[in-house]
Amino acid sequence: MTTTQAPRDLGEIRPRVMGFEFDDSIPRYWVADAVVPTHMGNALHLIFPMGERFFVRAVKHYADQIDDPELKAQIKGFYAQEGRHAHEHEKVFLWMERQGYDIRRFLAIYKKIAFLGIERLSPHKLRLATTAALEHYTAIMAENALEHGLLERVHPGMRELLCWHACEEIEHKAVAFDVLQRVDASYALRVAGMFMATTTLVGFWFLGASMLLRQEKGLGLREILRQLRASMQQNPLGRRVFLRGMREYLRRDFHPWQTDNLALARSYLARIERAAA
């Protein structure tokens, strides 16, 4: 079994109740005043809530098998944080609909394929392995956004939500993996979870962004490709997130806390909490 100690100052994993509001002061194109990166962000808003509730279900199925009191406490914090994330991102749905976007069709397709289909057909261990791999990806995405200043391109009305979510993803990034290691430390299972995580994340992210872009009148393919190229130059997701994520996760001795980025997350959380005080 792979073991790595969490940072000593991790402490309690606790949810922070933020109460974000999304009004019409937020521009339609809230990432760099550009449509393509905005819809890449909007697609994540749509994916996250049902995805995070899936994470909770996957971990909860095995929670009674965990005897370690420290990990049991972290699991409870994981549930609470993921529940808050889902709740806050769902608030963006109403804002998107006020902007004139049809999001319900994508949400229905996403639910039918991912949760009424793939989840129900998958063994519980594969659901947990997929969750552990997706948590690795979200933690890398979070670190990438904070470390490279990507949130500076985001309108302030959305920035705090994304920053808060990113920081808490880093805090609880090892919980699902630690549960998986205690349930079944099989390397083959871990690889299967990474395959499932990569294909579903890329697939639904692409589908969500595509369905939103199709609703933009007068937006041609050439302009979409131009903006996509510029966005990937600014934030090369393929290399920084997916290639890095697979390279790290597929090491036999991998553990999420081999990359200790807790101080990065806590520094941003402190700023958010000072601003809210």
Residue 254 domain-assigned? Answer: yes
Quick one: which of 80, 53, 76, 81 has its CA closest to 164? Answer: 81
The phi and psi torsions of 187 (rounded to 5 degrees) equal -65, -40
Residue 12 domain-assigned? Answer: no
> What pLDDT, in 10s, does the model give residues 88-111?
999 999 999 999 999 999 999 999
Residue 15 domain-assigned? Answer: no
Q: Is the dihedral of CA 91, 268, 2, 15 positive or negative?
A: negative
Residue 20 domain-assigned? Answer: no
The secondary element (H helix, E strand) that includes residue 257 is none
Q: Residue 1 pLDDT > 70, yes or no?
A: no
Contact yes or no for 110/204 (Cβ under 8 A): yes
> What pLDDT, in 10s, does the model give residues 237-267?
999 999 999 999 999 999 999 999 999 999 9
Q: How many domains does the chain have?
A: 1
Residue 92 domain-assigned? Answer: yes
Two tokens at 195? 């395959």
Residue 93 domain-assigned? Answer: yes
154 contact partners, CB below 8 Å, separation of at least 6:
30, 31, 41, 162
Any bridge partners for residue 31, and if so which? 154
pLDDT at residue 277 in the model? 63
pLDDT at residue 4 in the model? 63
Range(s) of the domain holding residue 106? 35-276
Contact yes or no for 74/5 (Cβ under 8 A): no
Residue 62 domain-assigned? Answer: yes
Q: Residue 163 pLDDT > 90, yes or no?
A: yes
Integer Cα distance of 180 and 206 in angstroms = 28
pLDDT grade for 161, boundaries at 50, 70 and 90: very high
pTM more than 0.85: yes
Residue 216 domain-assigned? Answer: yes
> What pLDDT, in 10s, does the model give residues 174-204?
999 999 999 999 999 999 999 999 999 999 9
